[in-house]
Structure formats: structure tokens, C-alpha cells
A and B are shown apart, each in its own frame.
Chain A
Amino acid sequence: GAVVSQHPSRVICKSGTSVKIECRSLDFQATTMFWYRQFPKQSLMLMATSNEGSKATYEQGVEKDKFLINHASLTLSTLTVTSAHPEDSSFYICSARDLGGYEQYFGPGTRLTVT
């Protein structure tokens, strides 16, 4: 149980375009979802926390107008990287937590490369 999927697993896009990444909880209801970014050889950096039906809470230094997060249902959250730049190239990982739970279940990650 507790499976989280992410799509796509890899994406290459051109600078200036937008990319949408989906995160789905397959067998549980994720009241809270988290979006992380990880640069090579660095630890996970929390970008934002989203609760179903409400606006995401962004960490300091993360531009909410650039990284649009939508958590419209209990099983789906999306992260849209708008006007992508090469410095946005990174490994983006989502995680989900169900109501009353403490463990975060991670998706497999999305490797974004902006050319």
C-alpha cells in the first residue's frame, strides 16, 4: 500500500516554456502533499506544502508565481514550472501524507532538464 506516482519521470523542455508534473496517491487519500527539489549531491529542499482544496504554502525563496501548485483532489497534486530556465533543471520529488498519518510517501521523482 501507500503508493505515490509521478508523471513524467523525465522531461526535457526549452527555455521559456512551461512544464507540468503530476503527483498521484494511488491507494490512499493524500490530504497533504509536499514538493521537493534536489540538486545533484545535495539534500532534499522543500519547495511547498499543499493541502487539498487550499492554497499551497511556499518555503522562503520559492517563487509562487513561477512554481504553480494545484491540489484539487485528495489524490492529485500538480506542479507547473512556468517560463522554465536552465537553472530550474533539477530532480523534483513529491510526497504525500494521509489524514492523521506521519509518514511521507515519496513519488519516484521527475528529472527536469531545461535547454
Chain B
Amino acid sequence: GQNIDQPTEMTATEGAIVQINCTYQTSGFNGLFWYQQHAGEAPTFLSYNVLDGLEEKGRFSSFLSRSKGYSYLLLKELQMKDSASYLCAVMDSNYQLIWGAGTKLIIKP
């Protein structure tokens, strides 16, 4: 079966760095997405990785290792507004998104 695993909840301090991991087992791979979702709102796109390596976009970076079925989202210089759920999703061979359950990130002052 298809499976996406990510931690349920993480806590970090304002100004610090946090890494949210995601491992996956899917039928085929056409890229991995990270989305941010604030409570009561729809997800917003953060990043897309289809090749191995690190993609940096401002305070957020995303890493992919296809051989290990592994990705992480790195958030630097954390701000209170970064408190949200972070969803990992993999596009399978049918170009369908398989979603992880999300990681709730709590930022403390």
C-alpha cells in the first residue's frame, strides 16, 4: 500500500530552526510537495521536489532523497506565524497526490 509518515506534532522556539521529516512508500513517484495549513484554512503551497537535493526558498528549504524515500522541510528563523500544520504529499504514478497526516508545529516565544 501507499504510505506517508511524518511526526504528529513538534514544538520549537521563536527564532530557532526546525526540521520536519517525511518518509514515503508509494506506487511510483512524480514529485513531493510540502504545504502549510493554518487552522481553518486551506493548504498553501510551499515547495516541490522531484530531483534529489536541497531546494531553498527564503526561510524555508526542502530536501529530497528518492533512494531513501525521504524528505524534510527546514524552517529557519522561526516566527510565531509559522505555527501551522505542515503537510507532506507525494504524487504517485497516476499523478494523484498521496497526503501525509500533517505535522502540527507549535512555536513558543
Contact = CB atoms under 8 A, between A and B. Distances in A.
A102 B30 contact: yes
B96 interface: yes
Contacts of A45: 99
Contacts of A103: 33, 45, 48
B15 interface: no
A38 to B, nearest CB: 9
A103 to B, nearest CB: 6
Interface string B55-99: 000000000000000000000000000000001000100011101
Contacts of A111: 40
Interface string A85-115: 0000001010000000011111111010000
A106 B100 CA distance: 17
Contact of B99 (A43, A105, A106, A109): A43
A47 to B, nearest CB: 12
Contacts of A104: 97
Interface residues of B, number: 20
B28 interface: no
Interface of A: 34, 42-46, 49, 91, 93, 102-109, 111
Interface of B: 30-31, 33, 35, 40-45, 48, 87, 91, 95-97, 99-102
27 contacts: A34-B97, A42-B101, A43-B87, A43-B99, A43-B100, A43-B101, A44-B43, A44-B99, A45-B99, A49-B96, A91-B40, A93-B42, A93-B43, A102-B30, A102-B31, A102-B91, A102-B95, A103-B33, A103-B48, A105-B45, A106-B35, A106-B42, A106-B43, A106-B44, A107-B42, A108-B42, A109-B40
